[in-house]
Every structure is written in C-alpha cells, then in structure tokens.
C-alpha cells in the first residue's frame, strides 16, 4: 500500500512509477506528454504514480507512521465494507470495479493538503481505484493542477462516499461514510482541506472541518470544458497557494 518517494523516477519534468508501465516511454518531457500516454501501450496506471497496491506516498518517518494508520483503516474497510458503505452502493461498486480491493484514497501523506471529492466515478476511481483518475472530470482536475505547477500526485485525494453509487447518482450519505472520512482526516491532520463539489462541502461542514469550496470539475465538463480554461485555473489556484504556503516548495 505504501509508495516510497525514492522508488519514483524523474523523467523530464514529471515523476513516474516504473512499476505502473508495461513499457517505459522514451519521450516524456512535460505533464502533457505524461497525460497523453496510450493506456493500451503503456498501462492503465501509466498516467499516475499510484495503483491499487501503492496508494500512499511517503517521504519520511512521520509520513510512514500516518500511512500505516491509513492502511489499517483501509483494511478495516475491506473487512467490514457495509459498516462504511450502504449495501446498494457496495453491491454496485463490486459490479463496476476492475481492480483488487475497493476505492479509498491516494496521495502524499505529508503534503497536508487534502482534496475531498463526492464519490468514486463510475469510469474513474470506481473502475481504477485511484481518485479523480481516468474519467473526464478526474483528468480535467489533474490537467488544471499541472497547469498551476502542482503535480496532482503530490496532494492527498479522497472522497466522502467510498463506494460508487449506482449510475454515478449520489443521493445520500450518512453516519457510515462520515465516520470513515472523519477518522481518515484525523489521521492526516491536514492544514488545508478543499471540498470538491457541494456534497463534499456539506459533509465536511457537518463534521466541523474548516474547508475551502471548489466547484467540481464535472460542473465544467457538463459545460463542454475538457481542457483547463481561465475560469477553472483562477478558481483552483488556491490549491497551489496552500501547497506552497504549507510545504514551501513545489515537488
């Protein structure tokens, strides 16, 4: 479950996880090259450093301690999924997934910057196990952060609801989901939490966390936006500002 920073390889201006590639590309220079990789040739997880078996990036001892707590929480979720997901959502999640395990979270444990989405996407996290990855809204978020100079793999990303709701239609969340999210955030102790979408904002406020609201990338996708435009870049620049304020540098 743990991914050590030193196991990554820097190619051009991006970091890659060599384990995620069926074949290593020869031409990587920028994030645009990284995100344009062909899945069939290079692998499903080629455009991220994470995969279902390596979800949490660690850079030091403090990261490792928190990561082990998150791994324990994830294993508890796997053992007792109906304690944390509604039966309807869990059954649907089992139907659509193409990976071993269940959706949970991924990212650099020590970034102290957390993005909280609403639920795994049917064609994204619900399918791959990696948050905001592969579907249209996930890739728009990644492109936006890269455009701002922030590698999306170096923040921590999770969702309020861990099991994908049928047909991607999130109708409810309750104590089950909120209890798991609260325990997750209490382990991380983030300094900046961003609610991606109204559902995430509502859930985080209910738990009493101080959060910053950002429109969900799906809001932009529904309006025909597939590449970062001035509006979404202006909105999401708060993530960059928080990351630099907390970590002092861009990785």
pLDDT band, very low/low/confident/very high, at 26 (cuts 50, 70, 90): confident
pLDDT in tens, 182-218: 999 999 999 999 999 999 999 999 999 999 999 999 9
**pLDDT over 90 (residue 232):** yes
Tell me the average pLDDT across 57-85: 95
Question: b/e for 145-166, b at 16 or more Cβ within 10 A?
Answer: bbbbebbbbbbbbbbbbbbbbe
pLDDT band, very low/low/confident/very high, at 80 (cuts 50, 70, 90): very high
Residues of the chain above pLDDT 90, percent: 89
pLDDT score, position 250: 74
Give the Cα separation of 57 and 50 in Å (integer).
8
**pLDDT over 90 (residue 168):** no
Give the Cα separation of 206 and 204 in Å (integer).
5
pLDDT score, position 170: 75
Tell me the average pLDDT across 20-37: 94
**pLDDT over 80 (residue 171):** no
pLDDT score, position 173: 82
**pLDDT over 80 (residue 172):** no
DSSP state of 193: E
pLDDT score, position 69: 97
Specify the higher pLDDT residue, 12 or 7. Answer: 7
**pLDDT over 80 (residue 153):** yes
Contact 210, 242 (CB under 8 A): no
Give the Cα separation of 148 and 170 in Å (integer).
30
Average of per-residue pLDDT values in the chain: 95
Query: Any idea which residue has 């979800």 for tokens?
Result: 55
For residue 212, the cross-strand partners are 194
Phi/psi for 92 (5° steps) reads: -70, -40
pLDDT band, very low/low/confident/very high, at 177 (cuts 50, 70, 90): confident
Which residues, at least 6 apart from 66, have a Cβ–Cβ distance to it below 8 Å?
109, 110, 187, 188, 189
């Amino acid at each position: 479950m743990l991914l050590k920073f030193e196991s990554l390889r820097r190619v051009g201006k991006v970091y890659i996880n060599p384990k995620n590639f069926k074949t290593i590309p020869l031409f990587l220079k920028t994030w645009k090259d990284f995100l344009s990789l062909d899945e069939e040739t290079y692998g499903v997880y080629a455009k991220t450093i994470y995969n279902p078996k390596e979800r949490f990036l660690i850079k030091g001892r403090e990261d490792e301690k928190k990561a082990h707590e998150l791994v324990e929480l994830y294993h508890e979720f796997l053992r007792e999924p109906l304690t944390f997901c509604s039966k309807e959502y869990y059954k649907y999640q089992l139907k659509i997934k193409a990976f071993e395990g269940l959706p949970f979270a991924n990212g650099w444990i020590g970034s102290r910057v957390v993005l909280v989405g609403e639920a795994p996407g049917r064609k994204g996290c619900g399918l791959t196990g990696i948050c905001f990855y592969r579907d249209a809204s996930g890739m728009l978020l990644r492109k936006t952060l890269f455009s701002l100079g922030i590698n999306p793999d170096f923040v921590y990303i999770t969702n309020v609801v861990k099991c994908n709701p049928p047909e991607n239609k999130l109708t409810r969340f309750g104590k089950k989901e909120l209890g798991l999210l609260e325990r997750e955030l209490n382990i991380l102790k983030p300094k900046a939490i961003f609610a991606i979408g109204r559902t995430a904002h509502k859930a985080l406020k209910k738990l009493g966390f101080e959060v910053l609201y950002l429109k969900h990338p799906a809001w932009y996708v529904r309006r025909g936006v597939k590449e970062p435009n001035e509006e979404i870049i202006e909105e999401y620049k708060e993530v960059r500002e928080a990351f630099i304020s907390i970590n002092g540098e861009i990785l």
